[in-house]
Structure 1
């Protein structure tokens, strides 16, 4: 019953975060549209400053949009009864992980495996990064480009 209570609390948190993100995204997109349509005034430094501010706001809106999509996916999974189950191995994801990242779809083991394999379906990450990091990281040593190449035939 404790897991059920935790899932209900997570549902409420997801709903609240979704509402907050929708509101913030709406304001950010409105602000970006306003900046685009405002008349350009000032010198080149002002224009550069405005452009960098727009880029930061745009990147932030993109990240929040991705988080919103993940939250909405988690809410759909709650409705379908699959929330809290690993999409890869189907084991129950611990509540502690869901508390930390409420839109998790993978257990820690499967997430680690995914990241170790090069991530997100690439299946090509065969470079031996551990070999490159062995020894003293401050030590100057020669790195051969063949050590960094990835076999793309797989």
Structure 2
């Protein structure tokens, strides 16, 4: 399959995922609003609702980031810039684009980026939780 044909197929995949994310985000937002309007029974119910709200808001954030990346990829397609690495300018391999259709860099540039920020490809969990505020009881 030619690269152009593969990119057209990826466009369909991106459009399908974008529409699914839009529906999911609309549903998640309405669910959060509905939950805030209902009152809970006791302190334990309120705590459980708070935890669920936090999980839902984190999921919304992840889905929102993915939606933005997809919309950026579709814009790049419209401008004829899709599929080229932002780091080195070379075409991103189709296998990577099939795995992550909104990828903006090739694997080599992604590795360089990860190495330059000091993580060496490993997840540093303390960084994940650095910005989270912990309320004392």
State the alpha-carbon separation in 2 of the partners of residues 41 and 85 from structure 1. Answer: 51
Aligned alpha-carbon RMSD (Å)? 1.4
TM-score, normalised by the number of residues in structure 1: 0.75
> What residue number does 2:27 align with?
27
How many residue pairs get matched? 120
Higher relative contact order (CA 8 A, sep 6+): 2
Task: Provide the C-alpha distance between the structure 2 equivalents of 1:14 and 1:59, rounded to a whole number of angstroms.
Answer: 22
Considering fraction of residues, name the structure with more helix: 2
Rounded to whole Å, the distance in 2 between the matches of 1:41 and 1:21 is: 29
Q: Report the TM-score, using the length of structure 2 for normalisation.
A: 0.84
Q: Distance between the aligned counterparts of 1:58 and 1:92, measured in 2?
A: 35
Is 1:15–2:4 an aligned residue pair? no
Q: 1-side partners of 2:77 and 2:105: how far apart?
A: 15
Residue aligned with 1:103, SS: coil
Report the Cα offset of residue 10 of structure 1. Answer: 0.2
Cα shift at 1:26: 0.2
1:99 to partner: Cα distance:
0.3
Query: Stretches of 4+ moved more than 2 A in 1?
Result: none
Where in structure 1 are there 5+ consecutive unaligned residues? 119-124, 130-154
Residue 132 of structure 1 aligns with which residue?
none
Structure number, greater radius of gyration: 1
| 1:35 Cα deviation after fit | 0.9
Whole-angstrom distance in 2 between the partners of 1:10 and 1:31: 31
Q: Within the alignment, does 1:58 sit opposite 2:62 as a pair?
A: no
Q: Which residue does the alignment assign to 1:104?
A: 103
What is the deviation of 1:54? 0.8
Match in the other structure for 2:91: 92
